[in-house]
Amino acid sequence: MDGSEPGELTAAAVVSGAPVDLQARTARIYRPAKTATQSGDWHGHHWRMDWDILQKGHRWENPLMGWQSSADFLQGTHLNFKSKEDAIQFAQKQGYEYFVQEPNERRIIPKAYANNFMYSSKKLKKIPTK
């Protein structure tokens, strides 16, 4: 038995000795949106999993510099996956509670430059230039 047999899943966190705080965290699985400065879709093919943020009890202000400090070791941690199914399978195998946030798909409306000069029965629109 190497763990690849079908059947009942045993959470890996139970046998790995992971902290109980980690097991109680909810994971979010989503496909990140591209930044506004990108025109292509090259980096939009992967799915990401990150964890919810802990409440205020785990944050404090550093008295020397005034920076915000945190005891949340998963705050800046995320995992990338090739597909949504891979991320779900990983979360189930680790025993994490998770939810999947489906991406908003872009709607591309076909446009033509010639439509700017097409006849319309509406009132003529005047654009002041000065």
For residues 91 and 29, the answer to whether their CB atoms sit within 8 Å is: yes
Q: Residue 20: which H helix or E strand, with range?
A: helix 20-23
Average pLDDT, the chain: 80
pTM summary value: 0.66
What is the length of the chain?
A: 130
For residues 48 and 77, the answer to whether their CB atoms sit within 8 Å is: no
Tokens standing for residue 120: 């319309």
Rounded to an integer, the average pLDDT of 20-41 is 79
The residue written with tokens 């690849």 in the block is 4
Tens-digit pLDDT profile for residues 44-67: 688 999 988 777 667 778 888 888
Residues sharing a CB contact under 8 Å with residue 51, sequence separation 6 or more, in sequence order: 25, 26, 27, 28, 74, 77
Strand positions, DSSP E, the chain: 26-30, 47-51, 59-61, 68-70, 78-81, 97-101
DSSP β-ladder status, 59-61 and 68-70: antiparallel
Predicted local distance difference test score (pLDDT) of residue 83: 93
